[in-house]
Structure 1
Amino acid sequence: MTPWHLDPESCALLVIDMQNDFVREGFPMEVPMARSRLPAIRTLVHACRARRVPVVYTQQILYDSFDVSPLETAYQPKLREVGMRDGTYGAEIVDELRPEPCDHVVRKHRYDAFHNTPLQSVLATVRGLNVVDTLIITGTLTEVCCESTARSAFMRDYKVAFVSDATGALSEAAQEATLHTMRSFFGRVMTTAEVLEALR
């Protein structure tokens, strides 16, 4: 039984951290699965723009001048030196998904895109006051920023559509573990094709 249906009039698309440092081959935080998801994410971005569904990108941003995310860098020490640096090519959204003027970009310093960012305010007003009640989650890392943001959305009473073939993890095992958790507790796991059908 489907707990709810995706309504194109009350949803928004989140594109989580599809930045060069995560997507490009040989870059500091390379996620090959994220690179393979580019066509699906691009298809969803174009479909949402065509239906006037808001597209919101997130960027994980770190600084050279001080350690803005010290626990993150404690677990990932190389991030003390490289990765997602403010103002660098690596921190930019990949060209294949380049934001357009109609889109929105939210910069963040934690895995959860709601934490100390304007995301909540953007979603609460972008289609009119409190119209958006459903978030379509795409991007990377599935098991880190996508999952953290999806859980946080659920806690804020958003319906979560977690797109199985438009999210990229570090491994198939991590991907499947997150999808299992999402469908069991936090939202609907949908394919790109299922989301496109709902948008039509």
Structure 2
Amino acid sequence: MTIPRIASYPMPKMDQSIHNKTDWRIDPQQSVLLVHDMQQYFLDFYDVSQEPIPELIRHTKMLIEHAHEQDIPVVYTAQLGNQTPEHRQLLTDFWGAGLKDDPVQTKIHDELTPQPEDTVLTKWRYSAFKFSNLEQLMQEWGRNQLIVCGVYAHIGCLMSAAEAFMLNIKPFLLADAMADFSREEHDLALKYASTRCAQVMTTDNVLTAWSNQAEDQIHPLSKAGILRAVSEQLQLPAEEIQLQDDLLLLGLDSVRLMTLVGVWQACGSRVSFEDLAEQPTLDAWIGKIAA
């Protein structure tokens, strides 16, 4: 037996059918984003041009981008190809041999490719915690909130949330950033999570909470703080400024550059006007200012 072909269905929305027992407050300083099993193999069981997949990918991409901006760790899970019977054990009885060792099938979806600062964990069982060091990593990072998105909602996403709960890590399951075998099973996962082990939220809920909480907590010399300061000087939305953009071409003149240098020096950076003018990109500045 393997995974069946999955019919398209509309992405669930938060409505009166979801009754969270918790009212946990999301804190960007405590958050870790878990991008669960977003490999091409699992997505290929859908018509990827039809819902819920386009919305799943769009929302997951937004979550990853905001997490990077706010220095929130992003953790991916991914299964290996050609797993041995010793590796799969009882999984074979339910799902067959699993993925082939094909780079097209095992890779994370192209729009969600992990960045060098991200963590990719090998996935062995339904829960992302099983046979991995996810719990240890969260302890090392000093974080106790797990934001879960990906596939499949009622299997790995739900099981990872349930195990986080049992480890005293607060799980948040995203209703509109997951996909499942059917709308019925998707709804089942949300109902179980909201009443037994997690808080169900939407992508917009999480992004708003991260932004609101982070405003007063962003250090001026952090990546997010540098981006915010540049955004304010250029009077451009932060999401429109790329790491490799030439900031002088975007309108950053010498007066604004001097203003930024003054702000960052006052916060303890030794960066100079000449340092920043020499390589006027965010990518270069982040390293220089932190140093």
- In the alignment, the residues of structure 2 paired with residue 9 and residue 33 of structure 1 have an alpha-carbon distance, to the nearest angstrom, of 30
Once the two structures are superposed, the pairs formed by residues 146-185 of structure 1 within 5 Å of their partners are 146-185=157-196
Decide whether the 8 Å contact of 1:23 with 1:35 is kept in 2. no
Identity of aligned residues (%): 30
Give the one of 22, 25, 38 matched to 1:5.
25
Given the alignment, which residue of 21, 33, 58 partners 2:41?
A: 21
1:62/1:68 contact within 8 Å kept: no
More deviation in 2-11 or 171-180? Answer: 2-11
How far residue 180 of structure 1 moved from its aligned partner, in angstroms, is 0.4
2:146 to 135, 152, 158: 135
Q: Which residue of 1 aligns with 2:72?
A: 53
- How far residue 122 of structure 1 moved from its aligned partner, in angstroms, is 1.7
- CA shift, 1:145, in A, is 0.6
Q: Structure 2: give runs of 5+ residues left out of the alignment.
A: 1-20, 212-291
Q: Which residue of 2 aligns with 1:192?
A: 203
Give the counterpart of 1:94 among 95, 100, 109: 109
- Secondary structure, aligned partner of 1:167: strand
Q: Taking structure 1 as reference, are residues 87 and 24 closer, same or farther at Cα in structure 2, changes over 3 Å only?
A: closer
**Aligned partners of 1:34 and 1:116: how far apart in 2?**
29
Structure number with the bigger relative contact order (C-alpha 8 A, sep ≥ 6) is 1
Q: Aligned pair in 2 of structure 1 residues 185, 25: CA closer, same or farther (>3 Å)?
A: closer
Matches within 5 A, 1:28-47: 33-34=52-53, 36-47=55-66
| Aligned match of 1:120 | 135
How far apart are residue 34 of structure 1 and its match?
A: 4.4
Identify the match of residue 93 of structure 2 among 71, 74, 77. 74
Whole-angstrom distance in 1 between the partners of 2:44 and 2:203: 22
AA aligned to 1:115 is K
Alignment partners' CA distance in 1, 2:136 and 2:126: 18
Give the residue type in structure 2 aligned to 1:88: P
Q: 1:149 to 1:64 in 2, by over 3 A?
A: closer
Structure 1 segments of 4 or more deviating over 6 A?
Answer: none
Tell me the CA shift for residue 35 of structure 1: 5.2
In 1, Cα distance between equivalents of 2:172 and 2:34: 10
Question: Structure 1 197/36 Cα, relative in aligned 2: closer, same or farther at 3 Å?
Answer: closer
Task: Measure the CA separation in 2 of the matches of 1:111 and 1:34.
Answer: 21
Structure 1 residue 179 displacement after superposition: 0.2
Q: CA deviation at 1:138?
A: 0.4
Deviates more, 1:65-74 or 1:93-102: 65-74
Structure 2 vs 1, CA of residues 15 and 55 (structure 1 numbering), >3 Å: closer, same or farther?
A: same
What is the TM-score when the length of structure 1 is the normalising length? 0.87
SS at match of 1:143: helix
| Preserved contact between residue 18 and residue 34 of structure 1 (Cα < 8 Å) | no
| CA shift in 2, pair 1:44/1:76, >3 Å | same
More displaced, 83-92 or 12-21? 83-92
- Tell me how far 1:72 sits from its aligned partner: 1.3
Q: Which residue of 1 aligns with 2:215?
A: none
Q: Can you give the 5+ residue segments of structure 1 that lack an aligned partner in the other structure?
A: none
Structure whose residues are more often strand by fraction: 1
* Deviation for aligned residue 1:182: 0.6
Give the distance between the partners of 1:132 and 1:34, measured in 2 at CA. 29
Summarize deviations over 1:128-158 as a string: whole Å, max 9, x none: xxx2110000000001110111100000001
